[in-house]
Structure 1
Amino acid sequence: MLSLDNAFSDEEFFAFIRRIEDRLGVLPDPFTFCCEPKLDGLAVSILYVNGKLTQAATRGDGVTGEDITANIRTIRNIPLQLRTATPPARLEVRGEVFMPHDGFERLNNHALEHGEKTFANPRNAAAGSLRQLDPQVTYHRPVNVECLRHRHCRRCGITEHPL
């Protein structure tokens, strides 16, 4: 999994468009964009084999990710088994693990009440939650996964961002 660069100004955004146009050459049609809210969390890849969640990893260094399978299994909105009679042989789902702001506030308030260390921001809290040695700690944290795309599933019939 690679990382995306940020564009904070119109100038940076249009420079990005020019780089794409330079690489692709002349295009018959103008670009179509799909925009999504920015989730500030940790990128993850979740692998299902024959419908069963078998592995989950972070981006890591871009080549080798951290194995977070045990902790991903504790996140309530991630199915351990795909709910279909005929699951694909292999399905990779990519997404972002994040902590909603209200959950972050509750977590930090609880830490303060118990004299524990607080997190600087929701992203650090989400990342720290995935890196726990004890999956039960992750289970009790208010983290979620937003699934954004899939790979390795030609017969799934799932379309991405239909326009």
Structure 2
Amino acid sequence: MTPDADPIEILLAEDNPGDVKLTEKAFEQGQVLNNFNVVNDGEEALQYLRQEGEYADAEPVDLLLLDLNMPRKSGDEVLKEMTDDPQLQRVPTVVLTSSSAEADIAKSYDHNANAYLTKPVDFDGLLDVVDRIEGFWLSVVRYPPERR
């Protein structure tokens, strides 16, 4: 990424304040310029992605990091709505959750998640995951032109 490039817009949909703080800290230590935004439930995630209500002025999301276990609307429900919404179908989505259940993994991919990662148990593991996310999703991947 060049120094004058626009920052990558990351949205973390996560209801656990501790996980939010650790993930945010890991991205701060990363190498890719980013705007890191957080919502705490699935309803807010969809409002943010659709730029509705209090998120009307939000930048389009370049990468969604989505927890499955959230209040009001689960990550699975968010994925399903994204799949059914032509404006959200192409938002790159990485499920980042504590579940390693095969049923959750299968359902996430059935609803068009681009990747499924189980949250590491320690900060060093999270730093490694963030480094890999940055290396692939934020440095290598090419996005559809209408996303930027």
Fold-level similarity (TM above 0.5): no
Q: Quickly name the TM-score band, shorter chain normalised.
A: under 0.3
Structure 1 or 2, whichever has the larger Rg, is 1
Give TM-score, length-normalised by structure 2: 0.25
